[in-house]
Amino acid sequence: MQKKTGLLEQYFHLIVNLRWLVVMLGAALVVVAITALPTLTKDTSAGAFIDPDNPALRYREQVEELFGLRDPIVVAVVNEGSEGIFNPDSLQLIDWLTNKISALDNVDPERVVSLATESNVVGTEMGMEVSEFLDPLPETQAEASEVRQAIADFPLYQGSLVARDGRASLVVVEILNEDQAQQTYDEILQLIAMAPTGAEDVLLVAGEGAVAGYLSSYIDQDAQRLNPFAGLIITLILFLGFRTLRATLLPNAIILATVVITLGVMAATATPFYVITNGLIVCMIGIAVADSIHILSQYYERQQIAPTASQRELVVWTMCAMVRPITLTSITTVAGFLALYPTSSMPPIKAFGLFGALAVCVAWLYTVTVLPAALSFLKPQPSKSFVAASNSGAKSPSHLFMVRVGAVVFSYPRSVVAVGLAVVVIGIFGVTRVQIEDQRIENFKASEPLYQADKRINSLMDGTYHLDVLVETEEEEGLHDPARLRKIQALQAFLEGQPHVNGSTSVVDYVKQMNRAVNENQIDQYVTPDDGMLVAQLFLLYATSGNPTDFEQEIDSTHRQALVRAYLDTNAFANNRQLVPIVEAYLTEQFNEPGMTARLTGRVHVDYHWINGIAESHVGSVLVSILAVLVMATLLFRSLSAGLLTIVPVAMSILLIYAVMGFFDIWLGIGTSMFAAIAIGLGVDFSIHSVERLRQLGRQTGRPLAEALAELYPTTGRALLLNLAAVALGFSVLCLSDVPPLIRFGGLVGLAVSASFIASITLLPSLVLLLKPASIIAPHKQRDSKRSGVVTTAILALVMIGTLNAPDTRAEELPEGLDIMRSVAARDEGHQVTRDMRLELSDRRGQTRIQEIKAYRRYFGDEKRTLLFYTAPANIRGTGFLTYDYSNSVAEDDQWLYLPALRKVRRIPASNRGDYFLGTDFSYEEIKSEIAKELGYSKAVWRIDQAVWISRESDYWDVNGNHLKTIENLEIKKIDEIWTVLQVKATNHKSGHSTLLTNLNVDYQSNVPERTFDQRTLRRGP
């Protein structure tokens, strides 16, 4: 150890000596990184999330090549009037829109589909006539109604291009460049604003193309708005915590360096800035600031202890003390982040893991080099918040708060562990409710026009989500085979029978329509012809009056491959995970045959595989992260138990995230799957610092374990609190976002970090206290001998007699009974005390009543005044007792009773002090003070503990010599240097009734104002 310290000291002395060099190098690195930044590319498209090698994606791209079907933007014309859209105004509007939209830059004019572009197939004497629906453009209602009739006769377009009830029609727009999708969306919105709409026409814009394009920039813009705000909040926290300029600026410098260098490396390695990289920036801010907070806390604390030390000494001492925990937390955080890389298949998430780890390393490097160097330039200057903390007077609120927390935790370690277990159980229950789901549209607020348009269009039409089946035959014109066509028709029927599939289109719809046309438009001729030759002729006939490229979305030019498209009104994974396997099974078992095969493709199919991948990889990545942290911690602490303790808070915070997701129906999807890794990375900070400090404290000898461990709270605990405030509040800023995914991100991570903190300062110390792991506390032998010594001196040694003469049995070495009682009476009770009392009254059958009292006591010179208020149960709430105890034993005490039902204070005789207090087994006197005085029993035995001058157990006999009652002081603790009885049990042997009195929240410090002990306080209430 000495050697190591020596090396560390030397290193930091070196840093401080070369501080100019170090600072310049640090700055230079930042400058270099800044120059690389402009080359950073942005890829905020949704497609970036898919591994380019993903087979589903590649296949889909092939299909897109073939059939030219990209994710379209969809413009809907909705008319709720009596004619629906089949009125001249609406139809003209459709035509106008089609023309205008086709003229836009990023729109593929060949791929705009609407009523204005599609053709009707009707039969004539000549055979078949193909003419556009809106050619000529209808001017009168009669002409519009003809269009309605035409659509009614052509099932292909029903539900896909025109709503089945005629209330809406679509203009389907394909864009050329996905990166400009948002721009195109905006342009279309502008067009709509000035469109010549009819009286009841409503225009809506939606579609996968719009959603995918808009989503990324939607998130990106909001994140850019909020990230600086998060930094501002953290700066504010730093200032409030330390109240010095340097403590506010230096961490910011480290944050700046971390962010800039990480982004610079990203740019240098041509890694694009993804949507989720915004989340990484907030993480980096949190990580960078955490180390600085711990170092600066130590620095200021050290300064209080050694105010005359020079800045150099302070810096070196601080760094030597903190470098170990800082390094430990950095290493474990790196482990957590790196685990993302091998376990995810999505490039942005892999990049997130990799660059997150890099950011941690950069932050660590700057914290152990540039920070001490920069600090050594400045003169020693105390921090106001730390000055206050070291005085015995008023302490800062955070100090007091942490000490309070520590007191509670060490009073009830079992309860804390029980609560922890309960949270685990609830958490597991919540985990089982987590749903795997991701729908891009649900990333928008419900008030967003795009969201509303999507929902509306999907309710009017068959659906804007497509599941496609590519049918391939081996020979050209292989699809002319009627048997195959019928199989395709059967496939369509099967698809339409699935939930959420509202319609389908294929080349078969065209063939049937053509067949009907040539058979005098008879309805019953809307069937596939039996003759393959006839099919060929139909296509030929179509070519004479229509454009054969009209089919190009349904069949390829050689008639070898066909695309069957099913329209779904939802893209929910919950639906897809059932639909896709069913369709695949159908295709394999019933459709595929020698010479014809079918494969699934389309947006729905791609999403299905994509999200399916999340389910599998997610659990793995979380487990690997936690395991990595465990291994690291075990290696660093050289103890498995310490390693296990380290992951307890982290595991709990992860469990909590899932539980919240489960209970609040937050989906586990693309966006949320990273939260676990971030939570691990940030949360492990708290547990490492806590375990490290607990080890230092636990190894101290000469004090009770609980007392030693309690030191955790005012020092490390306070720094952790500051750390939590900075990180949690920083993340919570994201909750202010308009964008649902950012709100979830900020909220869940903030929650996870808070949970980790809480578990670190409550569960960890409780576990240490209860389990006493050897890795944390001193070797057992030492502790034992100390404790047994205390016990020996406290053994009961005396019997004392009350009023009647009885033979004294005195032990030679023990003090006189009177002296003992004098010591007992003279025992310091504190000048004032506030406490809550809890009374459990149990009768001989075990039936228990609970009463709760709020008690105040204060000395007025030698006079002691006590005020008691019942706070529970409800039927006696507000009942109050006020007593003036005069030190002069001649003067009788004065006592008042307030009954809320009477609204009056009444005087009661205090001499019934022997009476039992309101139904308990304690007398009035016993309730007022912890020591029992002479009370008129025939015999009484007190067993006084000399170490504390309090009776441990006392017995009383009534005037007839029967053993009346026993009072046991079950728990006596030192609170604020005053020995306090925390739990007393009185048992009445005659009635079998017992009362358990527990004193809670005993507070000797808070001022109890004099006016509290007035009759008017009795009337006013607690």
Partner 1 sequence: MRARYCALYKLLTLLLGMGLSHSALALTLQGTADYSFALQTEDGSIQKTELVLTPQWDFHLSESARGTLIARARLDGVDELSPRQPAQHSRSHWNRRASIGNNADVEVREFYIDAFIKDSDIRLGKQQVVWGQADGLRVLDVLNPIDYREFILPEVGERRIPLWMLNVESPMGKGMLQLILIPDQTYDQLPPFDGAFAFSSRLLVPQAPANVPVTMLDDKRPSKPIKNADAGIRWTRFVDGWDLSLNYLYHYQNQAVFYLTQSPTGVTVTPTYQRSHLLGGTASNAFGNFTFRGELGYSTDRYWVANPAQLAAGVAQSPELAYVAGLDYSGLSDTFLSFQVFQSHLTRRESGTIRNQTETQVTALARRNLWNEVLTLEAFIIQSIDDKDGLIQLEARYQFNSTLSGRLGTDWFYGDSAGLFGQFKTASRVHVGLTYAF
C-alpha–C-alpha distance, residues 687 and 669, integer Å: 28
Instruction: Extract the tokens encoding 947.
Output: 């170490």
Is residue 330 a contact partner of residue 361, using CB atoms and an 8 Å limit?
yes
Binding string, residues 369-398; x marks residues near partner 1 by CB under 8 A: ------------------------------
- Give 228 or 992: the residue with its C-beta nearer to partner 1: 992
Binding string, residues 316-355; x marks residues near partner 1 by CB under 8 A: ----------------------------------------
Looking at 392, 875, 889, 960, which residue binds partner 1 (CB under 8 A)?
A: 875
Q: What's the DSSP call for residue 923? A: B
Q: What are residue 567's DSSP bridge partners?
A: 466, 503
Looking at 909, 963, 976, 1007, which residue binds partner 1 (CB under 8 A)?
A: 909
Kindly state whether residue 887 participates in binding partner 1, applying the rule CB under 8 A: no
- Decide: helix, strand or coil at residue 848: strand
Q: Residue 987: what residue type?
A: T
Residue 546, φ and ψ in degrees, nearest 5? -120, 175
Instruction: Extract the tokens encoding 985.
Output: 């049990």
Only one of the segments 15-23, 69-77, 827-835, 903-911 lies at the binding site for partner 1 (rule: CB under 8 A); that segment is 903-911
Matching residue, tokens 């006197």: 925
- Decide: helix, strand or coil at residue 947: coil
Kindly state whether residue 877 participates in binding partner 1, applying the rule CB under 8 A: yes
Provide, rounded to whole angstroms, the least separation between the CB of residue 882 and partner 1. 10
- Give 177 or 1001: the residue with its C-beta nearer to partner 1: 1001
Kindly state whether residue 892 participates in binding partner 1, applying the rule CB under 8 A: yes
Instruction: Extract the tokens encoding 761.
Output: 């300062």
10 Å CB burial of residue 997 (0-12, 13-18, 19+) is buried
Looking at 920, 951, 998, 999, which residue binds partner 1 (CB under 8 A)?
A: 920
Only one of the segments 87-95, 274-282, 653-661, 913-921 lies at the binding site for partner 1 (rule: CB under 8 A); that segment is 913-921
Provide, rounded to whole angstroms, the least separation between the CB of residue 864 and partner 1. 16
Looking at 919, 959, 962, 1001, which residue binds partner 1 (CB under 8 A)?
A: 919
Provide, rounded to whole angstroms, the least separation between the CB of residue 975 and partner 1. 25
- Decide: helix, strand or coil at residue 973: strand
Kindly state whether residue 177 participates in binding partner 1, applying the rule CB under 8 A: no
Is residue 467 a contact partner of residue 586, using CB atoms and an 8 Å limit?
no
Only one of the segments 720-728, 764-772, 900-908, 996-1004 lies at the binding site for partner 1 (rule: CB under 8 A); that segment is 900-908
Kindly state whether residue 851 participates in binding partner 1, applying the rule CB under 8 A: yes
Provide, rounded to whole angstroms, the least separation between the CB of residue 454 and partner 1. 36
Q: What's the DSSP call for residue 761? A: I
Is residue 477 a contact partner of residue 497, using CB atoms and an 8 Å limit?
no
Provide, rounded to whole angstroms, the least separation between the CB of residue 791 and partner 1. 36
Is residue 948 a contact partner of residue 979, using CB atoms and an 8 Å limit?
yes
- In DSSP notation, 714-728 reads IIIIHHHHHHHHHHH
Provide, rounded to whole angstroms, the least separation between the CB of residue 989 and partner 1. 14
| Helix extents (H) in 795-830 | 817-826
- Give 397 or 873: the residue with its C-beta nearer to partner 1: 873
Closest listed residue to residue 548, CA positions, set 561, 559, 564, 560 = 559
Binding string, residues 940-979; x marks residues near partner 1 by CB under 8 A: ----------------------------------------
Looking at 910, 948, 950, 984, which residue binds partner 1 (CB under 8 A)?
A: 910
Kindly state whether residue 921 participates in binding partner 1, applying the rule CB under 8 A: yes
- Decide: helix, strand or coil at residue 207: coil
Cα pseudo-dihedral 414, 420, 421, 423, rounded to 10: 150
Only one of the segments 9-17, 674-682, 791-799, 871-879 lies at the binding site for partner 1 (rule: CB under 8 A); that segment is 871-879
Only one of the segments 549-557, 599-607, 786-794, 916-924 lies at the binding site for partner 1 (rule: CB under 8 A); that segment is 916-924
Burial 672-690 (b: 16+ CB within 10 A, else e): bbbbbbbbbbbbbbbbbbb
- In DSSP notation, 298-348 reads HHHHHHHH-TT--HHHHHHHHHHHHHHHHHHHHHHHHHHHHTHHHH---HH
Largest pairwise CA distance in the chain: 137
For the chain, what is the total number of helices (H) and then of strands (E)?
Answer: 32, 22
Looking at 122, 424, 801, 908, which residue binds partner 1 (CB under 8 A)?
A: 908
Is residue 370 a contact partner of residue 254, using CB atoms and an 8 Å limit?
yes
The Cα-based distances of 644 to 17, 164, 636, 695, 708 in angstroms read: 40, 62, 12, 14, 22
Is residue 675 a contact partner of residue 657, using CB atoms and an 8 Å limit?
yes
Q: Residue 534: what residue type?
A: L
Looking at 428, 825, 850, 947, which residue binds partner 1 (CB under 8 A)?
A: 850
Provide, rounded to whole angstroms, the least separation between the CB of residue 907 and partner 1. 5
- Give 225 or 877: the residue with its C-beta nearer to partner 1: 877
Only one of the segments 381-389, 436-444, 627-635, 840-848 lies at the binding site for partner 1 (rule: CB under 8 A); that segment is 840-848
Looking at 701, 782, 912, 1001, which residue binds partner 1 (CB under 8 A)?
A: 912
The Cα-based distances of 575 to 452, 585, 617 in angstroms read: 21, 16, 20
Looking at 847, 888, 960, 1006, which residue binds partner 1 (CB under 8 A)?
A: 847
Looking at 9, 108, 894, 971, which residue binds partner 1 (CB under 8 A)?
A: 894
Kindly state whether residue 520 participates in binding partner 1, applying the rule CB under 8 A: no
- Give 384 or 990: the residue with its C-beta nearer to partner 1: 990
- Give 224 or 1015: the residue with its C-beta nearer to partner 1: 1015
Return the residues of window 521-580 that contact partner 1 according to CB under 8 A. Answer: none
- Give 244 or 920: the residue with its C-beta nearer to partner 1: 920
- Decide: helix, strand or coil at residue 998: strand
C-alpha–C-alpha distance, residues 698 and 780, integer Å: 11
Only one of the segments 219-227, 298-306, 539-547, 911-919 lies at the binding site for partner 1 (rule: CB under 8 A); that segment is 911-919
Looking at 196, 449, 789, 873, which residue binds partner 1 (CB under 8 A)?
A: 873
Residue 262, φ and ψ in degrees, nearest 5? -65, -45
Kindly state whether residue 843 participates in binding partner 1, applying the rule CB under 8 A: yes
Binding string, residues 981-1020; x marks residues near partner 1 by CB under 8 A: ----------x-x-----------------x--xxx---x
Total residues binding partner 1 (CB under 8 A): 40
- Decide: helix, strand or coil at residue 205: strand
785, containing H or E segment? helix 780-794
Instruction: Extract the tokens encoding 782.
Output: 């030492």
Is residue 242 a contact partner of residue 298, using CB atoms and an 8 Å limit?
no
10 Å CB burial of residue 778 (0-12, 13-18, 19+) is middle
Provide, rounded to whole angstroms, the least separation between the CB of residue 923 and partner 1. 11
Looking at 911, 962, 1005, 1007, which residue binds partner 1 (CB under 8 A)?
A: 911
Is residue 969 a contact partner of residue 955, using CB atoms and an 8 Å limit?
no
Kindly state whether residue 143 participates in binding partner 1, applying the rule CB under 8 A: no
Looking at 383, 883, 895, 969, which residue binds partner 1 (CB under 8 A)?
A: 895
Only one of the segments 429-437, 543-551, 611-619, 841-849 lies at the binding site for partner 1 (rule: CB under 8 A); that segment is 841-849
Provide, rounded to whole angstroms, the least separation between the CB of residue 848 and partner 1. 9
Provide, rounded to whole angstroms, the least separation between the CB of residue 995 and partner 1. 8
Angle between helices 311-338 and 347-368 (to 10 degrees): 170
Q: Which residues bind partner 1 (CB under 8 A)?
A: 841, 843, 847, 849-851, 872-875, 877, 892, 894-895, 900-904, 906-912, 914-916, 918-921, 991, 993, 1011, 1014-1016, 1020
